């Protein structure tokens, strides 16, 4: 039996019998290397079992492979992406429509193939996207976006509603697809971090750190202890400004402007701290392959400590007021429920997973930076509604304040950056970091001359966007923005 | 609950920061302004490329100080978007300058564009600006929109906003800081200096 024939059975067995979770899937055009395409399905094994990757090689003329999506729903978007960008068709995939490239892109042209010159811009084509149509008495179709009424990223939502009740939501995304992965190809390995931290603004540091970790893995070095602690402090500062801002945004979704303003001003304090200590409000330039870009002196350490102590007190006061507001809590309770089974089947990660009973956190399960040396707990809730996602964020933020203080207290001496070793071509590595939204997984393959051959970013938003329609169905239209804000997923992280 | 809220509001007090116009000179010679902001244009080219209706005599050719701004994300990474969002927070308080963010291009005097204009957003970008009544300014915020971002040569983008629209103000940065965005937006409008509006 050929590899391809058994491939789908092995992938399904990994999940059904070993309890594995699909972590990411990457397609690569390796024809310059050995005249093959390859698909890499990486699974995360439970209870610290590590990772296993199933590799499916395809000959240069083969354009099909058996889709695993019918048995592993979590593989859905990954396989469609491989179809769009590499022209490899997942046979038996339930969804034949384009995902990443929209109708303006001509058929038969695959930008991630090595024979597609980077920067080439084919003529625009026209067409229609076949949205699922819900038919029946009184069913209305409400199209929203891609340009939205507020200051928010672009995405299209097709709501099918009867009166105010949403029967079905279809999302259409990838409007901010910028071709980042193609741009990365051919760049020196140590320069890829500049692109990694521009995949997204609010996850910039977790992307940069995941990339740096992948390069360090390829290079066989580990960032020095002081750098790992500094990364931890900065990563928790990123988590804090996101979570506190997100609490404010959830208040905006309910019209509680007091909460929005308080959340926004605390977020602003934390971003100013980032600027003062690390030189960038979004922490770009902090994580680099080999360590961190700059050291922390006593003055900066004191500033972090002061600010964190003060913001913690203010945040606790804010949460106290919010939890005393019955009308606010009434909006959140029972709204936008994501069932635990759905979250599991789709491979949901991060805050959304932990709010639906799935106990996973890359900081604890696959420790990186200094997390193995620091004490912290991971909050889990089972209600799966907007309230649960708020509660998980509040508790994580309180943990983050403590983590930062412990990391500052335990900051070891030493260098903050090490030289990388030479990297042979066609080696692969993964870097995983728990961003404020969930785990970001960076898959990297080196090329000749210490360059990037293939780079795939699977952000937390990539894993979670497919679950949003399930949380929205059955709710009323005015709750849709609130439910979206409770997930607070990035579009740019997904689209790249 | 509302007593708790009032207590917290009073305890927080006023957090708005003054924005100096022009920016404090960063080690530059006297008279030179180190402002990262706008390069305003003298004239307003017709945005639709066609013949413009002849305005009534005395009609202003440019918007005034009460600037209503529509944000248009043309594919940014969201850093510039979040900094624009910050303009409405109590610290930067854009509204004290008489400017505001509006929900529709139909209400806009200025469209602020972030991102390098991705292929998938090309039509939406053009339609949004077409919908804005004239006169309307276009500001490009961030390196991507200004044409110096890392995706300017990608297959998936147009490269910069000015390949698709006329641009009246450029505010570079990755992302530019909120105070620089405010300066850039307000300096794009040739009217009374904004400093007069700060207490």
- CB-side neighbour CA atoms (13 Å) of A361: 17
Q: How far is CA A396 from the centre of its chain?
A: 17
Beta strands of A164-305 (E only): which ranges? 165-172, 287-288, 291-292
pLDDT band at A50 (very low <50, low <70, confident <90, very high): confident
Chain B residues lying within 8 Å of A199, measured CB to CB: 77
What pLDDT is recorded for position A297?
Answer: 93
Task: Name which of A236-240, A307-311, A431-435, B64-68 the model is least confident about.
Answer: B64-68
Give A361-414 pLDDT, tens digit per residue.
999 999 999 999 999 999 999 999 999 999 999 999 999 999 999 999 999 999
Q: Is B14 exposed, middle or buried (0-12, 13-18, 19+ CB in 10 A)?
A: exposed
- Mean pLDDT of the residues in chain A: 92
What pLDDT is recorded for position B39?
Answer: 41
Q: Is B85 exposed, middle or buried (0-12, 13-18, 19+ CB in 10 A)?
A: buried
CA distance A157 to A321: 33
The SS3 call for residue A90 is: strand
What pLDDT is recorded for position B64?
Answer: 67
Which of B73, B154, B175 lies nearest to residue A182, judging by beta carbons? B154
What pLDDT is recorded for position A386?
Answer: 96
Closest residue on chain B to A175 (Cα): B120
What pLDDT is recorded for position A80?
Answer: 95
CA distance A399 to A407: 12
| Paired tokens of A345 | 């089947």
pLDDT band at A119 (very low <50, low <70, confident <90, very high): confident
Put simply, whether A53 touches B (Cβ < 8 Å) is no
Put simply, whether A329 touches B (Cβ < 8 Å) is no
| Paired tokens of B195 | 């400093």
Give A125-166 pLDDT, tens digit per residue.
888 888 888 888 889 999 998 999 888 899 999 999 999 999
CA distance A92 to A96: 9
Which of B88, B153, B155 lies nearest to residue A111, judging by beta carbons? B155
Chain B residues lying within 8 Å of A276, measured CB to CB: none
CA distance A258 to B130: 36
CA distance A111 to A116: 5
The string over A58-97, giving b where at least 16 C-beta atoms fall within 10 Å of a residue's C-beta and e elsewhere, is: beeeeeebbbbbeebbbbbbbbbbbbbbbbbbbeebeeee
pLDDT at A259 over 90: yes
Give A339-356 pLDDT, tens digit per residue.
999 998 888 999 999 999
Give A265-289 pLDDT, tens digit per residue.
999 999 999 999 999 999 999 999 9
Do A201 and B175 meet the contact criterion of CB atoms below 8 Å apart? yes
Is it true that the peptide bond before A15 is cis, omega within 30 degrees of 0?
no
pTM as predicted: 0.91
The one-character DSSP state at B36 is -
Give A163-186 pLDDT, tens digit per residue.
999 999 999 999 999 999 999 999
Furthest-apart CA atoms within chain A: distance in Å = 70
Put simply, whether B143 touches A (Cβ < 8 Å) is no
Min Cα distance A266 → chain B (Å) is 10
Instruction: Answer whether A111 sits within 8 Å of B118, measured CB to CB.
Output: no
At what angle are helices B178-187 and B79-86 packed, to 10 degrees?
80
Interface of A with B in 264-283 (CB under 8 A): 264-265, 267-268, 271, 275, 281-282
First to last CA, chain B: 33
Alpha-helix residue ranges (DSSP H) falling in B13-95: 79-86
CA distance A273 to A238: 11
Do B113 and B74 meet the contact criterion of CB atoms below 8 Å apart? yes
Instruction: Answer whether B154 sits within 8 Å of A282, measured CB to CB.
Output: no
What pLDDT is recorded for position A1?
Answer: 45
- The vertex-A65 CA angle with A61 and A70, nearest 5°, equals 165
Residues 6+ apart with CB under 8 A from B82: A201, A202, A282, B175
What pLDDT is recorded for position A183?
Answer: 94
Chain A residues lying within 8 Å of B177, measured CB to CB: 275, 281
Put simply, whether A198 touches B (Cβ < 8 Å) is yes
CA distance A156 to A173: 6
Do A148 and B81 meet the contact criterion of CB atoms below 8 Å apart? no
ipTM, interface predicted TM-score of the complex: 0.92
What totals of helices (H) and strands (E) does chain B contain, helices first? Answer: 5, 5
pLDDT at A5 over 70: no
Instruction: Answer whether B103 sits within 8 Å of A150, measured CB to CB.
Output: yes
Nearest Cα to A41, choosing from A59, A61, A21, A19?
Answer: A21
Instruction: Give backbone dihedrals phi and psi of A41, rounded to 5 degrees, phi first.
Output: -105, 115
CA distance A175 to A192: 23
DSSP output for A266-318: HHHHHHHHHHHHHS-TT-TTSEETTEESS---HHHHHHHHHHHHHHHHHHHHH
Put simply, whether A284 touches B (Cβ < 8 Å) is yes
CA distance A142 to A139: 10
Put simply, whether A195 touches B (Cβ < 8 Å) is yes
First to last CA, chain A: 38
| Paired tokens of B148 | 């110096």
Q: Which residue ranges in chain B fall short of pLDDT 70?
A: 22-64, 190-199
What pLDDT is recorded for position A152?
Answer: 87
CA distance A494 to A460: 8
């Amino acid at each position: 039996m050929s590899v391809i024939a058994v491939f789908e059975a092995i992938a399904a067995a990994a999940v059904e019998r070993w309890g594995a979770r699909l972590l990411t899937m990457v397609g690569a055009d390796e024809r310059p290397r050995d005249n093959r395409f390859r698909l890499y399905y990486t699974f995360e094994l439970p209870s610290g079992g590590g990772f296993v990757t199933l590799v499916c090689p395809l000959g240069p003329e083969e354009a099909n492979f058996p889709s695993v999506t019918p048995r592993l729903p979590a593989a859905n978007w990954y396989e469609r992406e491989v179809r769009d960008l590499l022209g490899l068709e997942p046979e038996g995939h339930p969804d034949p429509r384009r995902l990443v490239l929209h109708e303006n892109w001509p058929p038969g042209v695959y930008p991630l193939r090595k024979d597609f010159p980077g920067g080439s811009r084919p003529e625009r084509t026209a067409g229609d996207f076949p949205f699922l149509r819900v038919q029946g008495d009184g069913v209305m179709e409400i199209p929203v976006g891609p340009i939205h009424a507020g200051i928010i990223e672009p995405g299209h939502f097709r709501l099918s509603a009867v009166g105010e009740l949403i029967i079905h939501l279809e999302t259409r995304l990838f409007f901010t697809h910028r071709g980042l992965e193609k741009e990365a190809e051919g760049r020196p390995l140590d320069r890829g971090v500049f692109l990694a931290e521009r995949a997204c603004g609010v996850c910039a540091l977790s992307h940069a750190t995941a990339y740096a970790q992948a390069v360090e893995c390829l290079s066989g070095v580990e960032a020095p202890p002081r750098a790992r602690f500094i990364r931890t402090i900065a990563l928790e500062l990123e988590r804090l400004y996101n979570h506190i801002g997100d609490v404010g945004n959830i208040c905006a979704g309910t019209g509680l402007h007091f909460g929005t303003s308080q959340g926004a001003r605390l977020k602003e304090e934390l971003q100013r701290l980032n600027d003062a200590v690390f030189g960038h409000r979004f922490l770009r330039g902090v994580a680099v392959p080999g360590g961190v870009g700059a050291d922390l002196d006593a003055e900066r350490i004191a500033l972090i400590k002061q600010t964190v102590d003060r913001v913690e007190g203010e945040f606790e006061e804010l949460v106290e007021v919010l939890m005393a507001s019955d009308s606010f809590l009434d909006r959140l309770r029972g709204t936008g429920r994501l069932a635990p089974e759905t979250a599991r089947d789709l491979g949901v990660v991060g805050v959304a997973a932990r709010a639906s009973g799935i106990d996973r956190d890359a900081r604890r399960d696959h420790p990186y930076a200094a997390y193995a040396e620091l004490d912290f707990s991971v909050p889990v809730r089972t209600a799966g509604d907007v309230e649960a996602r708020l509660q998980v964020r509040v508790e994580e933020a309180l943990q983050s304040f403590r983590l930062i203080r412990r990391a500052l207290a335990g900051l070891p001496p030493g260098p903050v950056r090490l030289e990388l070793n030479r990297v042979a071509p066609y080696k692969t590595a993964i870097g995983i970091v728990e961003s404020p939204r969930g785990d970001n997984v960076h898959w990297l393959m080196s090329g000749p001359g210490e360059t990037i051959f293939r780079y795939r970013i699977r952000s937390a938003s990539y894993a979670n966007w497919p679950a949003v329609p399930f949380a929205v169905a059955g709710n009323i239209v005015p709750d849709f923005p609130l439910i979206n804000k409770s997930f607070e997923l990035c579009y740019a992280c997904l689209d790249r | 609950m509302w007593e708790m809220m009032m207590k917290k509001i009073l305890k927080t007090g006023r957090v708005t920061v003054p924005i100096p116009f022009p920016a404090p000179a960063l080690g530059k010679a006297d008279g030179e302004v180190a402002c990262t902001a706008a390069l305003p244009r003298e004239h307003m080219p017709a945005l639709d490329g066609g013949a413009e209706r002849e305005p009534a005599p005395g009609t202003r050719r440019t918007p005034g100080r009460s600037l209503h701004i529509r944000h248009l994300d043309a594919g940014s990474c969201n850093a510039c978007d979040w900094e624009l969002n910050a303009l409405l927070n109590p610290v930067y308080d854009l509204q004290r300058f008489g400017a505001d963010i509006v929900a529709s291009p139909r209400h806009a005097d200025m469209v602020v564009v972030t991102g390098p204009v991705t292929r998938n957003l090309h039509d939406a970008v053009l339609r949004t600006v077409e919908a804005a009544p004239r006169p309307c300014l276009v500001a490009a915020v961030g390196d991507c929109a200004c044409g110096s971002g890392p995706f300017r040569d990608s297959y998936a983008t147009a490269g910069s906003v000015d390949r698709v629209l006329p641009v009246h103000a450029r505010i570079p940065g990755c992302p530019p800081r909120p105070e620089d965005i405010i300066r850039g937006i307000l300096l794009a409008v040739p009217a009374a200096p904004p400093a007069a509006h700060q207490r």
